[in-house]
Amino acid sequence: MMLMKRRDFLKVGAAAGAMSALYGCAGGGKASGHVVVVGGGYGGATVAKYLRMWSEGSVQVTLIERNPTFISCPISNLVIAGTKNMEDITVSYDGLKTKWGVRVIQDDVVAVDAAKKSISLKAGGAMSYDRLVLSPGIDFMFDQIPGLNNAAAQNQVLHAWKAGSQTVALRKQLEAMKDGGTFAISIPKAPYRCPPGPYERACLVADYFKKAKPKSKVVILDANEDVMSKKGLFMKAWADLYKGTLEYRNNSEVKDVDVATNTAILEFDKFKADVLNVIPPHRAGAIATQSGIKLINNRWVDVNWLSMESTSTPGIHVLGDAIFPAPTMPKSGHMANQHGKLAAAAILNMLSGQEPSPDPLVMNTCYSFVDAKNAVHVASVHTYDVATKTMQPVKGAGGVSAARNEIEGKVAMGWAKNIWADMLT
């Protein structure tokens, strides 16, 4: 039943056979070909798994990821606050390999040749593809904050906005800080990854301070005019739980950092902190910005929302935080997972000579903790609009929590475990 149309460089026969028994007939012409996925985060891991699952193994998938394991940004603020550890947010790529027959290669992609349909690997060698998926996440624009534009500075003034070693390092800085110290977190102008994330982090650090270092303070330096997500819920948490501990400052863009004194330099002001956490402005991950595909504002990839394909370069699909967002669509892990499924469905149609589905739908759910136990959510549903050629939010759908509550704190962890399984196992 399984027909391998490409060179048999994947040992997928057994896995594919099992899948075909589990998932049955997909309908339509059979897709075949080789898809290379760059980046194994929420978007890339999802598209890799769903391509294998929905094609019943007839499409070969290679996932290239620079890290040995998946580490989740969502929930990582709980590691920074000390109530979770790194093991809690780390998932192996073994499920993608053994259960789904994805070839996972730990490496960096250094170049894309769209004309030849091939990519080059840092370790050497090239690889050809029938379709390429870039899910590179973000890279930071350190040139916008001159004092941070070197490796030593970046090891001291952390972003911890990509989960991993910086998550651990920021936790250590907070643990080492004296009681009575100040933690300052800066937020870049929107759009940025995870709109509520910085406010959640501020809450959780304030919660840690209240319990462990009660004389300490948290200051949010927000480049934006106002709280960008779940405003009422965060402001209520700050008033109810962190009065006297947490201070919010809007229109406070960090223009530079004096690393020697741990001082954030604003337009008209300076702010010295004991632990300074600067989230620099960001743009699509380097492989996307360097591959010659069309960007908007020289930062984000312009995509066709029926397929997630680059508007300029056929054969290259882009997912997740790297793309120019549709109206009100957040840069979130949940949304990247939805992009991955949209792209997987479209790619399978295209590989079997069909058009992508004309009416895709994606939705977002995002939980934020306001203390160790209580969480709040924002949800939205987005459908394709022919007139504007983009995804538009469905009117009357979505919304935020009525109030912070412990039930959603439990559901948030259930969400995390389920979405990690949906991507990786």
Partner 1 sequence: MKLRTPIVALSLMALAGAAQAADPNLARNLAATCANCHGTNGNALKGAGLDSLSGMEKGKILQKIADYKSGDKPASIMHQISKGYTDAQMDMIAGYFAAQK
Q: Of 28 and 68, which CB lies nearer to partner 1 in the complex structure?
A: 28
For residues 408 and 395, give the distance between their C-alpha atoms in angstroms, rounded to a whole number: 24
Task: Give the shortest CB-374-to-partner 1 separation in angstroms.
Answer: 12
Task: Give the shortest CB-136-to-partner 1 separation in angstroms.
Answer: 21
* 177 touches 213 (CB < 8 A): yes
Q: Of 181 and 398, which CB lies nearer to partner 1 in the complex structure?
A: 398
User: Which string of b and e fits 133-159 if b means at least 16 CB within 10 Å?
Assistant: bbbbbbbbebebbebbbeeebbeebbb
Q: Of 230 and 382, which CB lies nearer to partner 1 in the complex structure?
A: 382
Q: Of 318 and 336, which CB lies nearer to partner 1 in the complex structure?
A: 336
Task: Give the shortest CB-365-to-partner 1 separation in angstroms.
Answer: 7
How far out from the chain centre does Cα 49 lie? 17
Task: Give the shortest CB-138-to-partner 1 separation in angstroms.
Answer: 21
Task: Give the shortest CB-334-to-partner 1 separation in angstroms.
Answer: 6
Task: Give the shortest CB-391-to-partner 1 separation in angstroms.
Answer: 12
Q: Of 308 and 362, which CB lies nearer to partner 1 in the complex structure?
A: 362
How far out from the chain centre does Cα 59 lie? 25
Site residues for partner 1 per CB under 8 A: 23-28, 49-50, 53-54, 334, 337-338, 341-342, 345, 349, 354, 356-363, 365, 377, 379-383, 394, 396-399, 401, 405, 407-408, 410-411, 413-415, 417-419, 421-422
Strand ranges (E), 148-230:
182-187, 217-222
C-alpha closest to that of 12 among 115, 113, 97, 73: 97
What's the token pair of residue 288?
């996307």
Task: Give the shortest CB-221-to-partner 1 separation in angstroms.
Answer: 31
Q: Of 263 and 332, which CB lies nearer to partner 1 in the complex structure?
A: 332
* Residue 312: count of CB within 10 angstroms of its CB: 14
DSSP string, 368-414: EESSSS-EEEEEEEEEEETTTTEEEEPTT--EE-SS-BHHHHHHHHH
Q: Of 114 and 413, which CB lies nearer to partner 1 in the complex structure?
A: 413
Which amino acid is residue 196, in one-letter code?
P
